[in-house]
Amino acid sequence: MQIKENATVYDAVIVGSGAGGGMATKVLADAGLKVAVVEAGPFFDPADPKQQTQLKWPYESPRRGAGTTRAFGEWDAAYGGWEIEGEPYTHKDGTKFDWFRSHMLGGRTNHWGRISLRFGPKDFKHKDVDGLGDNWPIGYEDIKPYYDKVDKLIGVFGTNEGLPNDPDGFFLPPPKPRLHELYYIKGARKTGIPVYPSRMSMLTKKINNERGVCFYCGQCSRACQVYADFSAGSCLIFPAQKGRGQVDLFTNCVVREVTTDANGKATGVSYINKEDRKEYKLKGRVVVLAASACSSARILLNSKSPQHPNGLGNGSDLVGKYLHDSTGSSRAGFIPDLMNREIYNEDGVGGMHVYSPWWGDNKTLDFPRGYHIEVWGGMGMPNYGFGFNVNDFNKFFGLPTGGYGDQLRKDVKKYYGSVLGFGGRGESIARKDNYCEIDPTTVDEFGIPVLRFHYKWSDLERRQARHMQATFEELIHNMGGEVLGDTPTAEQDYGLATPGRIIHEVGTTRMGDDPRTSVTNRFQQLHEADNVFITDAGPFVSQADKNCTWTILALSWRASEYIVEQLKQQNI
């Protein structure tokens, strides 16, 4: 079979349409460039009635919302999950890494928590603080102007608090706390943990005439049909299509590799169209990889040529290395004061209205770096799982558990909305020996060699999780609550989530000034092929105790401006 080559030469071929690819599309198209966006999954628009899950009721489904086909429940907007049929990944040395992939226009931005935190000055230079990991080649001052622009373009609510490592921004006003969040504020203050309005990318106020304003259904994970939350499709790709440039979308197209010429420069990409299972080529003056940290590393490692025998941009042998996810540990409590609630609509925005950024002083602790606390609770919409073990909390009052009859109806209402939970999301240390690489014996259904993961937590992360658990227990007690479940033991890593589970994986193509110790330069340009850029979370040197999306967006904007400038100057 002959590989079909598209005659068009694009200014840029962008691989992936999530946060990093979406932002590159927007910036490059707005500069008048001709771009191709290659996305492995189908077209998706949350405003399309046939794809909407927002405002559906549980009884519209025969499984009432159970997560059989979607890991976070069947209303979740993300297509894909921890395992995708025909597209395996493997593990080395018995280690664990769970990889969440979402193949669709907008990728994982369609369902994410919208927690939109800037990294602070310390996060870029943390080696200077504790000697661990590496510093970034750039600092907060380099990225600040782009965070500012992202805030204004996309919209994020929050408050300026003047915190040293949780910078101020251009915020929309936050929603008022819900009842369980007021309990949290009170409980946290007893322990001296500060609480602030959360920082999330939903529009509590209009930012332009194209996007709607939040109508408080609490269903951002289902993707918003009026575009009141940030998804890369609705907020970046669609506006880019209406802009100055030309945007050609290639959906259901899986990129195999970046093609290169005799000088080792990229000429475009080759991809497999899932619909006819044939191989095609696209030509571009620049290639932007934004397929997600691990997928972009995979594409580079699979792009072998005489000029790049170890994979494209992999002379340092560091592509795939320094893979790291956020630490995560969770706990929930039953709050008797929240029993027998009066019922009113408290759906609010999807997720938390308040949060606690890291407050601790590591000098007095047995682990480095910190974590922030996410809070959940409230009188949510019943879905699959609602009413299971309906009166287990009777055990706290010496009452019988189980039974049948009219009593069950009373029990349902007695305990509805009385549980509050915490997620700790923290910073792990990036290590060279946590990595993904090509599995030499396995391919996916498109014949593309797949990734093999090797990842181990260290005691630094385990001790952080132990601290999270102790903190959560104290907070629940402060609220007069009962902690649910047993305290996770050392054998259970203190409840530390399996690597990958927090879906904040970063670091596989880290940036640096020295080509021997980094894959890209400070503008996310491959040291070894100057017309290839990476705008997902691969170039992160460290992940901070934040979520990565806002930083992906800001860095992608910065890299994309650099691309425009370099093209103009004919440097690439």
Tell me: does residue 337 bind another protein (CB under 8 A): yes
Q: Is 486 exposed, middle or buried (0-12, 13-18, 19+ CB in 10 A)?
A: exposed
3-state secondary structure of 143: helix
Tell me: does residue 177 bind another protein (CB under 8 A): yes
From residue 60 to residue 89, the character string flagging contacts with another protein as x (rule: CB under 8 A) and all else as - is: xxxxxxx-xx----xx---x----------
Q: Binding to another protein (CB under 8 A): which residues in 338-397?
A: 342-349, 379-390, 392, 394-395
Tell me: does residue 8 bind another protein (CB under 8 A): no
**Cβ closest to another protein, residue 211 vs residue 454:** 211
Buried b (16+ CB within 10 A) or exposed e, 210-246: ebebbebbbbbbbbbbebbbbbbbbbbbbbbbebebb
Region binding another protein by CB under 8 A among candidate stretches 173-181, 452-460, 475-483, 539-547:
173-181
Label the pairing between strands 482-483 and 354-356.
unpaired
In the complex, the smallest distance separating the C-beta of residue 18 from another protein, rounded to whole angstroms, is 17
Among residues 4, 8, 48, 261, the one that binds another protein under rule CB under 8 A = 48
Among residues 72, 215, 376, 446, the one that binds another protein under rule CB under 8 A = 215
Region binding another protein by CB under 8 A among candidate stretches 249-257, 437-445, 503-511, 540-548:
249-257
Among residues 90, 130, 152, 447, the one that binds another protein under rule CB under 8 A = 152
In the complex, the smallest distance separating the C-beta of residue 446 from another protein, rounded to whole angstroms, is 17
In the complex, the smallest distance separating the C-beta of residue 277 from another protein, rounded to whole angstroms, is 13
Among residues 248, 474, 482, 561, the one that binds another protein under rule CB under 8 A = 248
Nearest to 299, CA basis, from 493, 444, 150: 444
Region binding another protein by CB under 8 A among candidate stretches 164-172, 284-292, 454-462, 555-563:
164-172
Contact residues for 423 (Cβ-Cβ < 8 A; gap 6+): 328, 329, 330, 373, 374, 376
Q: Answer yes or no: are the C-beta atoms of 24 and 232 closer than 8 Å.
A: no
Among residues 120, 133, 155, 268, the one that binds another protein under rule CB under 8 A = 155
Across 113-245, where does the E strand assignment appear?
196-197
User: Side-chain half-sphere of 379: how many Cα atoms within 13 Å?
Assistant: 16
**Cβ closest to another protein, residue 115 vs residue 529:** 115
**Phi-psi domain of 279 (left: phi exceeds 0; alpha: psi -120 through 50; beta: other):** beta
Among residues 57, 432, 442, 489, the one that binds another protein under rule CB under 8 A = 57
- How far out from the chain centre does Cα 149 lie? 20
Among residues 55, 129, 443, 470, the one that binds another protein under rule CB under 8 A = 55
Q: Binding to another protein (CB under 8 A): which residues in 256-285?
A: 275
Across 94-239, where does the E strand assignment appear?
196-197
Task: Give start and end residues of each alpha helix (H) in 84-126.
Answer: 121-124
Buried b (16+ CB within 10 A) or exposed e, 21-47: bbbbbbbbbebebbbbbbbbbebbbbb
Nearest to 14, CA basis, from 275, 288, 276: 288
Among residues 170, 359, 376, 446, the one that binds another protein under rule CB under 8 A = 170
What string of DSSP letters covers 424-451? EEEPPPP-TTSEEEEEEEEE-TTSPEEE
**Cβ closest to another protein, residue 86 vs residue 306:** 86
Tell me: does residue 6 bind another protein (CB under 8 A): no
3-state secondary structure of 364: helix
Q: Which residue has the tokens 């008022």?
A: 176
From residue 392 to residue 431, the character string flagging contacts with another protein as x (rule: CB under 8 A) and all else as - is: x-xx----xxxxxxx-xx--xx--x---------------
In the complex, the smallest distance separating the C-beta of residue 268 from another protein, rounded to whole angstroms, is 17
Total binding residues toward another protein, as defined by CB under 8 A: 101
**Cβ closest to another protein, residue 59 vs residue 94:** 59
**Cβ closest to another protein, residue 51 vs residue 296:** 51
In the complex, the smallest distance separating the C-beta of residue 43 from another protein, rounded to whole angstroms, is 4
Among residues 47, 213, 450, 483, the one that binds another protein under rule CB under 8 A = 213
Nearest to 293, CA basis, from 513, 46, 138, 100: 100
Q: Which residue has the tokens 């992608």?
A: 556
Q: Binding to another protein (CB under 8 A): which residues in 129-148?
A: 148
Tell me: does residue 159 bind another protein (CB under 8 A): yes
Q: Binding to another protein (CB under 8 A): which residues in 440-459?
A: none
